[in-house]
Chains A and B, each alone.
Chain A
Amino acid sequence: MLSLDLFANAIVAGVLLGGFYAAVAVGLAITFGQLDIVNIAHPAFVIVGSYIAYIVNSKFGLDPVLIGVLAAPIFFLVGIAIYRIYYAAFERTGQESLSGLAFFFGLMFIIEVSLILVYGVDYRLVRADYIGDTIQLGFVGIPFRMLVPFVVAITGTTAIHLYLSRTFTGRAILAVAQDRQALQLMGADPVRIKQFAFGLAIATTAIAGSLLIIIGPVEPSVGRLYIGRVFAIVVLGGMGSIPGMFIAALILGIVETLVATFMGPSWAPAVAFGLLLLTLAIRPSGLFGR
């Protein structure tokens, strides 16, 4: 059963899937990993991104990825608005741990149910010319449906990584979680920095959503399935680290695909989350944590 081409294809498929997971998780690596905001509604925003891609794509036939990029600034503003509420209600009063968690939990449900009320629960799909085509490299096949999200994901996460490590604002974001006072002394307003970072994180979900709907059909409650996965990735990746997150996403993608290929797909989710539970129990700082 363990044939080489099957194995090679599984690894390639896993890498592609992992790249997509990274696109979904990168925003959370910023909010949860660096800002300490447990945005459990993150996948719900991804679904909103998918729906926007679906609506614009079915009306005007634009490319889903392009729609995601165009929608990102709007998501950015929405993110800022949400952070303002979060800050005023929880962070300022120091209740972010329990109430903040419940806040995002409620937000997730509001988003999901609103989508259902407006669009129903039917599965939505997008059209793009490359969906359905495959590149064949020897015995390894690479479907465009997975390749496009992978390429977009790797470009996006690299850009964010460079931004965070090279620019002043980016470094300030990295600093805000570690030392607020120092940041204030440097003349930056921590609240504004966090607000900007949160907006950035939500903006990434617009693109991640468009990638999700390229891969397969989407309905409002699909987002829930990603909660565990994306948190697993961020934790495995050692919280705030973007490269760590990316590697963790690849690991998860590869493990899931290998299990699906060789053991049967029904065990794939348990293996991924078992990995997470184990990491949490043995090394809570993640694989790449300090």
Chain B
Amino acid sequence: MKISVFWVSVVALLIAGLVFTEVVGNEYYFTALYVILQATIMAVAWNILGGFTGYVNFGSAAFFAVGAYTSIALNKALGLPLPLLILAAAAVSGLIGLGVGYLTLRLKGVYFAIATLAMAIVLETLVTNWAFVGGARGAYILTPEDHLWFDSYIHMLFMLMLVLTVASVAISRKLKSSRLGRGLAAIRDDEVAAECAGVPTLRLKLISTTVMGAMMGVAGAPYPFFVTFVDPASAFNLFVAVNAIAMPMIGGTSHWIGPVIGALLVGSMQEITTVSVSSELNVLIVGVMLVVFISLAPQGIVGLVQKHILKRRR
């Protein structure tokens, strides 16, 4: 029953998106929604490792940036179309995710978090010194003229992002409810015990870091076409990493819907404050919300709702 509700809403959402691109001409909504959807993918991806498996990744921005730079490099070298670029970005970021997965062999908890931070800086230095993609100077991507049957390029990007977001949510949901998800939860609760109980911890961890990396790469791949100018400082922006952590934490890490709720809530709030108040306030709001939520409601919004429902049932 629940499965069908999910898939019906997925189809409804995609149709709604298509209708939206036909009915609404105002491009601003599409750019705003694009940013929110991008944040949603990042949050969902972070949660696969952070929420389900219990490993904190501070280097989300690096996976995102690797995705973006893969698409810049391949677009420049071979002129590949966007769908192929997305696949390539997924592959490259996924591989880096796999590498990070091997780090978990030796590094637990905090050490792992710091290693991801260090990895982000090493990768940023590499890209900064890589002249082919512009190095520190940054790279320009001219928006292609072709935008299928959509009215404009941003309509197409929005629809693409919607499909990618829905796909990542579906993957994350599938992961959570499968045997794999239970294995990941076992690792999160007590890795040693899980190992003893015969859970193939390494394999599961590798799967979750790879999926996380690939998803973040996918979120980054269309980014150059969206902003048209990418430099390492903006692609490796720590703010991307903060959002990727804060959104699931605020939404709730234990359930697949948590990061989605967190991303939609925080993301739209950010868009609204950007155009109404100021951008710095944005970051402040995210920081304050993050601290308040984890201090007072560590299970996030999902946790609050669950608690509420439980109380009612009693």
Contacts and interface: CB of A to CB of B under 8 A. Distances in A.
Chains A and B touch each other in the complex, with CB atoms below 8 Å apart: yes
Given A105-B245, A284-B111, A110 B284 contact: yes
A98 B107 contact: no
Given A98-B50, A106-B291, A280 B284 contact: no
B117 interface: yes
B287 A110 contact: yes
Given A103-B295, A107-B291, A284-B107, A277 B286 contact: no
Contacts of A95: 298
B119 A277 contact: yes
Interface string B298-311: 10000000000000
A105 B118 contact: no
A38 B290 CA distance: 16
B56 A109 contact: no
A262 interface: no
A101 B291 contact: no
Contacts of A1: none
Interface stretch (B121-129, B162-170, B202-210): B121-129
Given A97-B109, A101-B113, A273 B284 contact: no
Interface string A169-202: 0000000000000000000000000000000000
B282 to A, nearest CB: 9
Interface string A19-50: 00000000000001000001000000000000
A103 B289 CA distance: 10
A102 B284 contact: no
Contacts of A108: 287
B103 interface: yes
A58 interface: no
B261 interface: no
A270 interface: yes
B233 to A, nearest CB: 11
Nearest to B282: A113
B249 interface: yes
Nearest to A105: B245
B125 A266 contact: yes
Nearest to B135: A266
A81 interface: no
Interface string B155-188: 0000000000000000000000000000000000
A270 B294 contact: no
Interface string B221-263: 0000000000000000010001001100100010000000000
Interface residues of A, number: 41
A98 B128 contact: no
Contacts of A105: 58, 242, 245-246, 290
Interface in A101-140: 101-103, 105-110, 112-114, 116-117
A103 B291 contact: yes
A159 interface: no
Contact of A235 (B54, B114, B121, B283): B114
A102 B118 contact: no
Nearest to B287: A109
Q: For chain B, give the interface size range.
A: 35 or more
B111 A273 contact: no
A89 B297 CA distance: 10
A113 B295 contact: no
B280 interface: yes
A101 to B, nearest CB: 5
Contact of A280 (B115, B121, B129, B281): B115
Interface stretch (A2-10, A226-234, A246-254): A226-234
Interface string B94-125: 00000000010011011101110111011001
B288 interface: yes
A85 B129 contact: no
B110 A97 contact: yes
Nearest to B109: A97
B24 to A, nearest CB: 33
Contacts of A273: 118-119, 121-122, 125
Interface string A204-224: 000000000000000000001
17 contacts: A38-B110, A38-B113, A98-B54, A102-B246, A103-B291, A106-B286, A106-B287, A109-B284, A113-B287, A228-B114, A231-B114, A267-B125, A270-B122, A270-B126, A277-B119, A280-B111, A281-B103
Given A98-B56, A266-B128, 8 more contacts: A89-B298, A93-B298, A105-B242, A106-B286, A269-B125, A270-B122, A277-B115, A280-B106
Interface of A: 32, 38, 85, 89-90, 93, 95, 97-99, 101-103, 105-110, 112-114, 116-117, 224, 227-228, 231-232, 235, 266-267, 269-270, 273-274, 276-277, 280-281, 284
